[in-house]
Copies of this chain bind each other. A is one copy, B any other.
């Protein structure tokens, strides 16, 4: 799945080590967040720490390998939405926020990677682009107000995911998302915008 075919791991043992590291890292990240000890990940995977670094030169590379497919899946979900209902936007942002909460610290890693030239950065850009396009379609449908910035939706979802990543249940996350999306929708009465001039 690497972008560059020349970097593909060929040897069977290397492939197995790589997969083991991913499996163990996933468990460790779920348990301790993305700041889990890489030393312990290597140890539990039964490989030397050098092998971990050979496969994943940075912690970010390891995170990317674990979440890239899921990020692409969420981005593709946005592509498939017409943007004709606010509930659609809301549902998609909830999906995004739920994913960003897979590991503690993931939301931060995604925000940090955004706009960098790494593989994870590219995945984030893909996601943000899909989110912006969705908002633009919603604006054309008159569902989201025209003066909203297309980036706001994903930004708010990222923020809320970060705040609520420690929460056991998803109640608060959903309520906050609902409020945030509500703030982007087209208002029914124009006088409510009067305070824009204040």
Contact = CB atoms under 8 A, between A and B. Distances in A.
Interface string A3-43: 00000000000000000000000000000000000000000
Contact of A179 (B148, B158, B160): B148
A143 to B, nearest CB: 10
Nearest to A161: B159
A160 B188 CA distance: 26
Interface in A153-198: 155-156, 158-160, 162-163, 172, 175-176, 178-185, 187-189, 191-192, 195, 198
Contact of A180 (B85, B179, B187): B179
Contact of A189 (B148, B158, B188, B198): B188
Contacts of A191: 188
Interface in A77-97: 85-87, 90
Contacts of A152: 175-176, 179
A87 B180 contact: no
Interface string A123-163: 00000000000000000000000001100100110111011
A111 interface: yes
A155 B172 contact: yes
Given A86-B195, A182-B182, 17 more contacts: A85-B195, A87-B198, A90-B195, A149-B172, A152-B175, A152-B176, A155-B163, A155-B176, A159-B163, A159-B176, A162-B162, A179-B180, A179-B184, A182-B183, A185-B192, A187-B187, A188-B191
